[in-house]
Amino acid sequence: MTEGMEYEEFVDEGYEPGNEELVCYFYFEHVDEVEFEWAAGGIAAESSVGTWEPGLKTMNDSVKEHSATVFQLDEDNGRISVAYPPELFESGNLPQILSSITGNIYGLEEIERLRLLDVEFSEAVAGRFLGPQLGLKEVKKRAGAEERPLVGTIVKPKLGLTSEEHASVAYDSWKGGLDIVKDDENLASMQFNDFDKRVKNTLDAKKQAEEETGESKIYFPNITAPVAEMKRRAELVMDNDGSYVMIDILTAGWSAVQEMREYLEGRDIGIHAHRAQHAAYTRLKTHGISMLSIAKFARLVGVDNLHAGTVVGKMEGGKEEVQEIYSFLRSDWLEKKTTIPVASGGLHPGLVPDLVDLLGEDIVIQAGGGVHGHPGGSEAGGRALRAAADAVKEGKTLEEKAEEVEELQEALEKWGREET
């Protein structure tokens, strides 16, 4: 019987990954008692076929062929690249993939910090995943916003409004010119705001706003719940002519998101992905999982929209990091449709030119307080945000557009504007 494998045996700097392999890029810090190469090998071993005990009597040459390989070592920067044979992963099972590459390795005693920086999926691993159902172009087309950013709002306050009050805020926002209204991430089915009533009332308000404005509008109701209930809620949305659902993808879990995407296949329904809880994984730059990696998981399982950072506003996220995520979501990738990136958090009309300059026009700009905090209320706030987006389309400055739209002038007087 073949002896087991030492951690160092999982390191081979002369190895060249095959086209079918999955590749992960890690940053890590280790205790002084072990060498960098030993710790690197431990990460590859424990995320594939190895274990702490090198004398396994159950190890054989066939098993060794499935081992992960550290093929790049950068000790000065604490970085390694690891290649995984596709046979290590169950096709179409994201939880199983993540149990390997983001699993027990985070608990290794000798590894003090570990961060998944990026992951490259091969077609062999990614093939069975559906990807987004609609894609960026279809989402913009539905709203008639092919030549400008999509603009939307989150009903505020996030909790406390009745279903009727919620629908009224949504109606005012749509009437002001916004394309999208969404629930907030922690609004589900509450004693004061029942999900079924809210969906029916808000979709009725959407129809009314569409009739009065002559524009198509979109509503993202938050269906996040146990999977069976998410399916029931999605059916209710579709029964009332809704065309989108929203899921808190990290708190619901990847299995749930995958199942919902498969459940909605062929039904022309988009999934808006909220990233609530992401900072628990992404905030520390020396530990956790990068937002770029999460974005790849999300696009793979099939979300059409994803909160992806703002650069400006109240949410953490550096310029280069956020731009890289936005570029990925809109890129050609594994024959999957694109996901439209969403900027949300501390935004207002005065930031629109900066956002477009930094992130491009193929985005969703969502403002909560920056709409409902307008001196004239939600309708005026919606009109101001839409005017800012129209200014970009028309090649005008905000100040020039504000001469035409009083509500934009009021927004600029309240919140100002920032220059990148």
Residue labelled with tokens 């494998």? 5
**Side chain identity, residue 377:** G
Q: What contacts 193, CB < 8 A, 6 or more positions away?
A: 159, 161, 162, 163, 166, 187
- Catalytically annotated residue among 30, 175, 274, 401: 274
| C-beta neighbour count of 218 within 10 angstroms | 23
Adjacent-strand bridge partners of 116: 26, 289
Starting at the edge strand that comes first in sequence, how are the strands of the sheet with 150-154 ordered?
Answer: 218-220, 180-182, 150-154, 364-366, 340-344, 305-307, 270-274, 244-248
Cis peptide before 157 (omega within 30 of 0): yes
> How far is the C-alpha of 189 from the C-alpha of 304, rounded, in Å?
23
Please name which of 129, 101, 114 lies closest in space to residue 255, comparing C-alpha atoms.
129
> How far is the C-alpha of 121 from the C-alpha of 127, rounded, in Å?
9
Taking each helix axis from N to C end, the angle separating 227-239 and 195-213, rounded to the nearest 10 degrees, works out to 30
Please name which of 83, 79, 76, 86 lies closest in space to residue 40, comparing C-alpha atoms.
79
Adjacent-strand bridge partners of 220: 182
> How far is the C-alpha of 224 from the C-alpha of 43, rounded, in Å?
34
Mind giving me the DSSP string for 331-397? Answer: S-BTTBPP-EEEEESS--GGGHHHHHHHH-SSSEEE-SHHHHTSTT-HHHHHHHHHHHHHHHHHT--
The question of whether 274 is a catalytic residue gets the answer yes
Helix (H) or strand (E) holding 255: helix 254-263
Please name which of 130, 233, 139, 142 lies closest in space to residue 183, comparing C-alpha atoms.
233
- Catalytically annotated residue among 30, 156, 166, 182: 156
| C-beta neighbour count of 267 within 10 angstroms | 11
The question of whether 336 is a catalytic residue gets the answer no
Residues annotated as catalytic (active site), given as ranges: 156, 274
